[in-house]
Each structure stands twice: as C-alpha cells, then as structure tokens.
Amino acid sequence: MTSPLPSSPAASVLDLAPVVPVVVVSDAADAVPLARALVAGGLPAIEVTLRTPAALDAIRAVADEVPEAVVGAGTVITPEQVRDCVAAGARFLVSPGWTETLLAAMRGSGVPFLPGVSTTSEVVALLERGVREMKFFPAQAAGGTAYLRSLAGPLPQARFCPTGGIGPANARDYLSLPNVGCVGGSWMVPADAVAARDWARIEELARSAAGLRDAGGTCR
C-alpha cells in the first residue's frame, strides 16, 4: 500500500489491528450492526469481500454509518471493481493476486491497497514497482509461517497480511514473524452468528482476536 489511510492514526491498514476480519455479507442490512460489533471488539479495519451481490451496498452502508470503522473491499480483481468500491466508500483494497492492469487501477484509486502474492517472484516484482505491503494468499496452502520466515531474510522490506487458513490456533504464529503486520481471517464472524444476528457473540470473538496483539508478547 502506498498512501496513508485517511483520518487514521496509522499509516497502514497493517498497523490498525492484529486481525482484519474478512467478511462475507449476504444481506446489506446486516453490515452496519456487524461492523459496529467488530469495532466495539477492537477490530476497526474490516474487509468486505466482493463475493455476494450485497457487497457494494454493505461497503456503502458501513462507510456512511460507522465512521469509526475503516472499511475496505476484498476479492478485488478488475479495474471496474476498483472504481465501484472506491465510489462506495472503500478506504482500502485487497486482491487475491495481481496483474499490471489491476495494479495500475489500484495505484490510481487514491486509497491504500494490498495486492495478493504467493511466490517470491511476485514479491520481488511488486518491490520493483515500489509496493512493499502485500497480502500473502492462500497463506497456509502457499507455505505458511515457514515460507514467510524464509522471505524475511532476503526481502526484509516486504510486509504481509497473510490470509487463508488462519484461525485462533495459528494466528499468533504468523503475528510473531517480523514481516507480518496483521493477519486476515473470518473466525470472528462465523456464519451461524451472522445468520442469528448475534452481534454480542461477534463482538466477544473480535475482542479476543484484537487481544492477539499483546498475547505472549508476540505482536508489535
């Protein structure tokens, strides 16, 4: 990501919280109470994935009604999605991978972005283009903590938000790495809790995830 988040005390979404909730919203009416529960639990950066028709409306609702949240868009794969997400109020963009066309669109969007990588060559290519903050995806399948630890030596300037296969059992292992700023995950927004609109449970799970920053001294 190449520009600071507006109205944010941190220069990067990687520094806002140890965990970025990866949220799939099927009903836009759930977006605001869901975001409020996550923020109340200490997770202000929220990635709403473009996996449902309700995603853009959800981003718009959170941007309009939950100003304390830093709402972003995930699963961004086209320049048109970049445009539509920013117009809806997304304050950061996350992609599962990148191409030159998509990277150019994200650069031109005016908001921070995390392009997805899973190989050393992709990391080097982004570093050549001045991008130092990236999504590592799919984290567990692509080599997990061992892979990221191996990258830290030759490529210390790259920082990552690993996503994919991360939960409370292994999040701390990722967060202990020097090149990991935060992790992405969905365990604090289980589908059954969202379906039941159990916002109190989601807030409790978010609070536990937010506490990973200080747990065992493993997070910066």
For residue 100, give every residue at least 6 positions away whose Cβ sits within 8 Å of its Cβ, in sequence order, or none. none
* Contact yes or no for 170/176 (Cβ under 8 A): no
Q: How many helices (H) and strands (E) does the chain have?
A: 9, 9
What is the three-class DSSP state of 116? strand
**Catalytic one of 65, 68, 80, 135:** 135
Is residue 128 flagged as an active site residue?
Answer: no
* Contact yes or no for 217/53 (Cβ under 8 A): no
Task: Quote the distance between the C-alpha of residue 63 and its chain's center.
Answer: 16
**Catalytic one of 47, 68, 122, 133:** 47
**List of E strands, the chain:** 19-23, 45-49, 70-74, 93-94, 113-114, 116-117, 133-136, 159-162, 183-185
Distance CA 199, CA 192 (A): 11
Is residue 80 flagged as an active site residue?
Answer: no
Task: Write the single-letter amino acid at 130.
Answer: G
* Contact yes or no for 206/17 (Cβ under 8 A): no
Distance CA 122, CA 37 (A): 36
Active site residues: 47, 135
